[in-house]
Amino acid sequence: MNGPGSSAPLVRLEGVTKVFNGSGHSTTAVRDVSLEARRGEMVLLMGPSGSGKTTLLTLIAGLARPTSGRVSLFGRGIERFSTRELQAFRAERIGFIFQAFLLIEALTAAENVGIVLRFGRTRRSERAARAGALLGELGVGHLADRFPAGLSQGEKQRVAVARALANGAELLIADEPTGSLETRQAVGIIALLHEQARKRGAAVIVASHDLRLRDFADRIVTLRDGAIA
């Protein structure tokens, strides 16, 4: 697979600013940020709560449009994507990992993974096998038929990682992925993410204020008040 930084950037932000307009006042969540992420690279966005990490992630994923500046995904400016194209991109090329795992409680572990495969247009007959294989690869194959309520925090996060990887995502976006985990689990999960990213040649962008993650990052971007410090 490609080594870190060996190819054109999957994500490029150029002078990106995001302003939220509320009732009578506006808040600048991200201010003039420029950064890149390449295949196999893990970029760690650090900073205190409210520093704009999550907003930056949503901009990178094309979930929000910048107020000014330019965001490019896979070499193409997101302003040129239609809503449907962005949805298809998220389904097929971007994987998400959330702080609170955000597994769908009404679905089993295998179904949580399988539903993403469905969005990625994997044939129905292949979904169960692929979901099972991926869960097995991440060490939770025996929990495939369990609902999230019956899983530990660490197991939930592994299922969430499996879901993020299901469609062969080229870009993994993780928002505080270790926020709900104890140290051993946190290190384990970030090592897993790091390993999978390298193995699959995916770029990983992690927003966290967890200092334990610094050892795994290829690059650390520190944010303060929405700007790179």
Partner 1 sequence: MYAVRTLRSQPLRLALTVGGIALCIVLMLFLLAVYRGVADGSVEYIRQNRADLWVLQDNATNILRGSSLIRPEQILAISRAPGVRTAAPVLFLLSTIRRGDRVGTIFLTGFDPGAGLGGPPALAWGRGPRADDEIVLDRSFAMKFGFKAGEEVDLQGRRLKLVGISRGTNAFVIQYAFVTLRFARDLIGVPGLATCVMVNAEPGAEIGPIREEICDVLAGLQAYDQATFLANNVHEMRSGFLPLLYTVAAIGSVVLTAILSLLLSVNILERRKDFAILKTLGAPSGFLWGLVVKQAALIASVSCAAALALFFPLVRLIERVSPEVTAKSTPGQVAGVAAAVLLMSLASSLAAVRRLRRIYVLEAFS
How far apart are alpha carbons 99 and 137 in whole angstroms?
Answer: 22
151 binds partner 1 (CB under 8 A): no
For residue 119, the minimal CB distance to partner 1 (Å) is 5
Q: Which amino acid is at 102?
A: L
Q: Say if strands 203-207 and 11-21 run parallel, antiparallel, or are unpaired.
A: unpaired
Radius of gyration of the chain (CA): 17
Residue (118 or 219) nearer to partner 1, CB: 118
149 binds partner 1 (CB under 8 A): no
The length of the chain in residues reads 229
Q: Which amino acid is at 37?
A: A
State the DSSP code for 169: -
Residue (63 or 227) nearer to partner 1, CB: 63
Which of 8, 9, 13 is CA-nearest to residue 57? 13
Which of 24, 30, 34 is CA-nearest to residue 47? 30
10 binds partner 1 (CB under 8 A): no
Residue (33 or 101) nearer to partner 1, CB: 101
Binding map of partner 1 across residues 81-100, x = CB under 8 A, - = no contact = ---x--xxxxxx-x-x-x--
Size of the site for partner 1 (CB under 8 A): 29
How far apart are alpha carbons 81 and 8 in whole angstroms?
Answer: 20
Residue (91 or 227) nearer to partner 1, CB: 91
Structure tokens at 114: 């399988």
Q: Which of residues 159-218 bind partner 1 (CB under 8 A)?
A: 163, 175
For residue 127, the minimal CB distance to partner 1 (Å) is 12
Q: Which residues bind partner 1 (CB under 8 A)?
A: 54, 57-58, 61, 63-64, 84, 87-92, 94, 96, 98, 102, 104-107, 111, 115-116, 118-120, 163, 175
